[in-house]
Structure 1
């Protein structure tokens, strides 16, 4: 077939091709990683949204993405993976904090201190953190521009009901 390309698509091409499909499903493409060193090469699409990715959604997005990528003018084989950013991704934007609502985080503040708390409401450039204060739960309002680094913590036991209530996450699967 004359004129067919044999190379992999670029990161930009993948994002442009898949963005509309992901947005329709309620997700944003956070990043696309293309590893041409593996055989076959691996295309990883990292997506996030206001609702967590579950296995059914990942499968649906992967099928859609695969069909769109297969329609490109390329015969290069590839392995496609659709995934979420993972808990080790630092929270860097207001939407990251909003999407992690109800989750426990470690936050390093601009003054060099570290605070561990459960993410509550995010508004007006600040986040409510539910923290332990003198043996009880309290809400601490922290401006986002004072947070140098924040990372979601993996939890192995369920959070306390009062902690979830203060975070505004009662009845959610905050630790899941």
Structure 2
């Protein structure tokens, strides 16, 4: 029996994800050895994901997929996960949740650069984002200043991992960190590792 498509799985789980207060960020299917298939469902929310809610969502998705019967007799490994720190920003909610974080930005060809030397690739700290534009803090700790860039001018933006905390002035210009999100800096890596370990223990398992 052929495996369901990622689009089909997304349709099956989207309502369950939304009901639990999450946004569905992606579904990925891949072979996990010769015995089973790996299914990764990526979800996100405004605050730090509640592990109990993630575990309950995992059970609900497993039951829904079993009831639908799309996998037939093929066992699958289900993993519910959250986006990594260095995920691309492709929707307004991504920008809003990345407030206070440093991102690497690539402008679209022909877009006016806010950098003094006209660079089209640069790093900035994310400020308040709206449907049309985003505030960016340039200059780092030494010369922080805020500019506004149309979202339509940005070709790509990827959050950067930081090992040192940002300067107080640049973080203030950014409007602080989005509520419920980890602060950039030295403690971020440890917090992320802890969260990933707990998430794995709750959400992975072979469903047969």
Indicate the TM-score class for this superposition, using the shorter chain for normalisation: 0.7 to 0.9
After superposition, residues 17-166 of structure 1 pair within 5 angstroms as 17-36=12-31, 38=33, 39-53=35-49, 55-73=51-69, 74-110=72-108, 111=111, 113-132=120-139, 135-166=142-173
C-alpha separation in 1, matches of 2:107 and 2:10: 33
C-alpha separation in 2, matches of 1:162 and 1:83: 34
C-alpha separation in 2, matches of 1:134 and 1:79: 45
The alignment of Structure 1 onto Structure 2 pairs a total of residues equal to 171
Once structures 1 and 2 are overlaid, which stretch shifts more, 96-105 or 131-140? Answer: 131-140
Is the CA contact (8 Å cut-off) linking 2:105 and 2:154 kept in structure 1? Answer: yes
Which ranges of structure 2 fall in alignment gaps of 5 or more residues? Answer: 112-118, 189-208
More strand by share: 1
Q: 1:42 to 1:128 in 2, by over 3 A?
A: same
More helix by share: 2
Moved over 4 A (4+): 54-57
TM-score for both structures, normalised by structure 2: 0.71
Which is bigger in relative contact order (C-alpha 8 A, separation at least 6)?
2
C-alpha separation in 1, matches of 2:45 and 2:60: 17
Coordinate RMSD, CA, aligned: 2.5
Which ranges of structure 1 fall in alignment gaps of 5 or more residues? Answer: 1-5
TM-score for both structures, normalised by structure 1: 0.82
